[in-house]
């Protein structure tokens, strides 16, 4: 095992700087990883996941999880073997300078230099680390080192977004981008040649945080909700806060229409980080959206920086009636969840199955110290949305698990014929495993556990990058 080390941040009471959230300080490479069970032969590629991992925190008490520099963790699988694990900071100029390395430079949007910390997406032969707020994506090489900022061959008009959707029908990439300097959000479509072919600027007021969006065969759904950016801390001198009294609305934009074609539908105040999927039915009159909904988030009464588990979200089905102009809500589960995913082949169309991370939540008895001791177990959930059933995979007490990513067993495999991959912390080893679950037999537990030599901090999103998606190596 080889590695490099950066300066350490002292332990602080901030919950995002300790425990399973605590940043790691070393970049390592470990090869020929030990495995319990058997890695499916069809898994030939890389599992990559991004997340905040600050190099240094000037004001620990004020630090928020969202503001740490990105670190990408990756595991290479091939021929039933786990060939390597790597973790690398995304090299913005600020990160490269602190590590004493040559600056990469490259294009910038409004001079912004931030190491994207939220997602990893592979598109048109490029592997990109993503973040929202106006910063460009940064391209990664096969060993997860940073090539530099990427502007889609000079065609990206601003920043990109933390979440993108690759339409399985057309192969094009879609995104809704925002920047605090803009009085609008941008709907972007990138062609399979890696160049932006369509841009639509949709006016919005009050600098709302639009973390994600939904896409159907003919429409884009925009979540204009009561979380807005205000000055005073956070990345770029702004911080997201709950805005009581601000209207909540769902925008329905025809994919090929202009900004004037957006239809805004009033909904109850709430916040949505992550939709699962959306699709049209009944001749296009209705849109069904499965998503994870919070009653509120970034409530300044609670200090503006929610602690882990302080706000909880639940899976809901929203039915949008485009004739009546209404949105009907239905809660599907009383367990708190986040990070919903589906089979990527089903995006923008009907889907039966979905996956989500069961949120750890405090116990309801005793004071704060007692609550921390009685936090409930976490795990992954598989939803059969047609039958209304839920299957659980639980991790042991003291363990944790991140987002579950579905990987089809083959291009023409059935919707739940495949594997769910996730990083899971093993409290007995005090290190992280990459677990491989059979989607069709979810409750049986992992068919393989790939044992990493280190702990992977709690992070955000990732993807499976199959070998055929990018010509990195033979």
Q: How confident is the model at residue 3 (pLDDT cuts 50, 70, 90)?
A: low
Q: How confident is the model at residue 372 (pLDDT cuts 50, 70, 90)?
A: very low
On whether residue 474 sits in a domain, the answer given is: no
- Average pLDDT value over all residues in the chain: 91
Q: Are 231 and 216 in contact (CB under 8 A)?
A: no
Q: Is a pLDDT exceeding 80 seen at residue 402?
A: yes
Note the pLDDT tens digit of each residue in 48-59.
999 999 998 988
Q: Is a pLDDT exceeding 50 seen at residue 373?
A: no
Q: Using CA of residue 341, residue 397, residue 453, residue 90, what is the dihedral sign?
A: positive
On whether residue 195 sits in a domain, the answer given is: yes
- The pLDDT score that the predictor gives to residue 382 is 98
Q: How much of the chain exceeds pLDDT 90, in percent?
A: 82
Q: Is a pLDDT exceeding 60 seen at residue 24?
A: yes
CA distance 422 to 403: 6
User: Which structural domain, as residue segments, surrounds residue 282?
Assistant: 2-469
On whether residue 96 sits in a domain, the answer given is: yes
On whether residue 323 sits in a domain, the answer given is: yes
Q: Are 127 and 120 in contact (CB under 8 A)?
A: yes
- The pLDDT score that the predictor gives to residue 348 is 98
On whether residue 230 sits in a domain, the answer given is: yes
Q: Is a pLDDT exceeding 90 seen at residue 2?
A: no
pTM: 0.93
Strand partners, 185: 178, 202
- The pLDDT score that the predictor gives to residue 366 is 41
CA distance 398 to 428: 9
- The pLDDT score that the predictor gives to residue 469 is 85
Q: How confident is the model at residue 310 (pLDDT cuts 50, 70, 90)?
A: confident
- The pLDDT score that the predictor gives to residue 365 is 39
On whether residue 264 sits in a domain, the answer given is: yes
Note the pLDDT tens digit of each residue in 216-271.
999 999 999 999 998 654 455 678 899 999 999 999 999 999 999 999 999 999 99
Q: What is the 3-state secondary structure (H, E, C) of the chain?
A: CEEEECCCCCCCCCHHHCHHHCCCCEEEEEECCCEEECCCCCCCEEEEEEEECCCCCCCHHHCCHHHCCEEEEEEEEECCEEEEEEEEECCCHHHHHHCCCCCCCCCCCCCCCCCCCCEEEEECCEEEEECCCCCCCEEECCCCCEEEECCCCCCCCCCCCCCEEECCCCCCEEEEEECCCCCEEEEEEECCCCCEEEEEEEECCCCECCCCCEECCCEEEEEECCEEEEECCCHHHEEEEECCCCCEEEEEEECCCCHHHCEEEEECCCECCCEEEEEEECCCCEEEEEEEEECCCCCHHHCCCCCCCCCCEEEEEEEEECCCCEEEEEECCCCCEEEEECCHHHCCCCCCEEEEEECCCCCCCCCHHHHHHCCCCCEEEEEECCCCEEEEEECCCCCEECCCEEEECCCCCCCCCEEEEEEEEECCCCEEEEEEEEHHHHHHCEEEEEECCCCCCCCCCEEEEEHHHCCCCC
On whether residue 422 sits in a domain, the answer given is: yes
On whether residue 109 sits in a domain, the answer given is: yes
Q: Are strands 26-31 and 81-89 parallel, antiparallel or unpaired?
A: antiparallel
Closest of 182, 176, 222, 238 to residue 205, by C-alpha: 182
Q: Are 354 and 290 in contact (CB under 8 A)?
A: yes
Q: Are strands 227-231 and 196-203 parallel, antiparallel or unpaired?
A: unpaired
Number of domains in the chain: 1
CA distance 342 to 326: 25
Radius of gyration of the chain (CA): 21
- The pLDDT score that the predictor gives to residue 474 is 45
CA distance 78 to 294: 39
Q: How much of the chain exceeds pLDDT 70, in percent?
A: 90
Q: Which residues contact 468 (CB under 8 A, 6 or more apart)?
A: none
* Rounded average pLDDT over 359-373: 50
Q: Is a pLDDT exceeding 70 seen at residue 368?
A: no
Q: Is a pLDDT exceeding 70 seen at residue 173?
A: yes
Give the HSE-up count for residue 29: Cα atoms under 13 Å, Cβ half-sphere. 8
Q: Is a pLDDT exceeding 50 seen at residue 108?
A: yes
- The pLDDT score that the predictor gives to residue 377 is 78
Q: How confident is the model at residue 473 (pLDDT cuts 50, 70, 90)?
A: low
Q: Using CA of residue 331, residue 421, residue 72, residue 177, what is the dihedral sign?
A: negative
Q: Which residue has the higher pLDDT, 52 or 365?
A: 52
Strand partners, 286: 281, 321
Q: Is a pLDDT exceeding 90 seen at residue 341?
A: yes
- The pLDDT score that the predictor gives to residue 146 is 97
CA 43 → CA 1, 46, 307, 353, 469, distances in Å?
Answer: 24, 9, 36, 21, 13
Q: How confident is the model at residue 104 (pLDDT cuts 50, 70, 90)?
A: confident
Q: How confident is the model at residue 376 (pLDDT cuts 50, 70, 90)?
A: low
- The pLDDT score that the predictor gives to residue 299 is 83
Strand partners, 5: 26
- The pLDDT score that the predictor gives to residue 236 is 53
Backbone φ and ψ of 317, nearest 5°: -110, 120
* Rounded average pLDDT over 166-186: 97
Note the pLDDT tens digit of each residue in 32-90.
999 999 999 999 999 999 999 999 898 898 888 888 999 999 999 999 999 999 999 99
Q: Dihedral (C-alpha) 352, 76, 47, 8: value to the nearest 10 degrees?
A: 160
Q: Which residue has the higher pLDDT, 12 or 471?
A: 471
- The pLDDT score that the predictor gives to residue 362 is 57
Note the pLDDT tens digit of each residue in 278-305.
999 999 999 999 999 999 998 865 445 6
């Amino acid at each position: 095992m080889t590695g490099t080390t950066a300066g350490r941040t002292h332990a602080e009471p901030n919950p995002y700087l300790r425990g399973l959230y605590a940043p790691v300080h070393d970049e390592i490479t470990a090869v020929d990883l030990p495995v319990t069970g058997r890695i499916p032969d069809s898994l030939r590629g890389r599992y990559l996941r991004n997340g905040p991992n600050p190099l240094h925190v000037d004001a620990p008490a004020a630090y928020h999880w969202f503001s740490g520099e990105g670190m990408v963790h990756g595991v290479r699988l091939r021929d039933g073997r786990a060939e390597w694990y790597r973790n690398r900071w995304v090299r913005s100029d600020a990160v490269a300078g602190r590590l004493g390395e040559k600056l990469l430079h490259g294009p910038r949007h409004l001079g912004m230099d931030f190491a994207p910390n939220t997602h990893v997406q592979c598109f048109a032969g490029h592997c990109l680390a993503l973040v929202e707020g106006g910063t460009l994506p940064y391209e990664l090489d096969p060993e997860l080192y940073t090539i530099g900022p990427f502007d889609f061959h000079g065609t990206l008009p601003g920043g990109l977004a933390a979440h993108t959707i690759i339409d399985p029908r057309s192969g094009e990439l879609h995104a809704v981008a925002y920047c605090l300097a803009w009085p609008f959000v941008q709907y972007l479509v990138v062609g399979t040649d890696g160049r932006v072919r369509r841009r639509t600027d949709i006016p919005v007021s009050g600098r709302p945080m639009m973390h994600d969006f939904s896409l159907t065969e003919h429409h884009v759904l925009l979540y204009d909700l009561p979380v807005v950016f205000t000055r005073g801390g956070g990345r770029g001198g702004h911080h997201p806060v709950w805005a009581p009294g601000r209207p909540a609305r769902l925008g329905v934009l025809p994919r090929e229409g202009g900004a004037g074609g957006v239809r805004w539908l009033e909904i109850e105040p709430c916040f949505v980080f992550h939709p699962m999927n959306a699709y049209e039915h009944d001749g296009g009159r209705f849109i069904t959206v499965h998503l994870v909904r919070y009653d509120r988030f970034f409530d300044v009464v609670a200090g503006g920086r929610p602690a882990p588990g302080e706000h909880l979200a639940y899976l809901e089905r929203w039915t949008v009636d485009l004739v009546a102009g209404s949105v009907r809500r239905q809660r599907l589960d009383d367990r708190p969840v986040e990070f919903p995913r589906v089979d990527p082949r089903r995006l923008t169309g009907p889907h039966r199955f979905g996956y989500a991370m069961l949120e750890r939540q405090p116990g309801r008895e005793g004071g704060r110290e007692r609550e921390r001791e009685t936090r409930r177990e976490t795990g992954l959930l598989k939803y059969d949305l047609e039958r209304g059933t839920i299957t659980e995979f639980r991790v042991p007490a003291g363990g944790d698990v991140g987002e579950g990513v579905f990987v089809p067993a083959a291009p023409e495999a059935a919707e739940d014929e495949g594997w769910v991959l996730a990083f899971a912390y093993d409290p007995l080893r005090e290190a992280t495993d990459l677990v491989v679950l059979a989607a069709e037999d979810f409750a049986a537990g992992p068919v393989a556990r790939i044992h990493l030599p280190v702990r992977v901090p709690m992070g955000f999103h990732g993807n499976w990058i199959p070998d055929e998606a990018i010509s990195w190596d033979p």
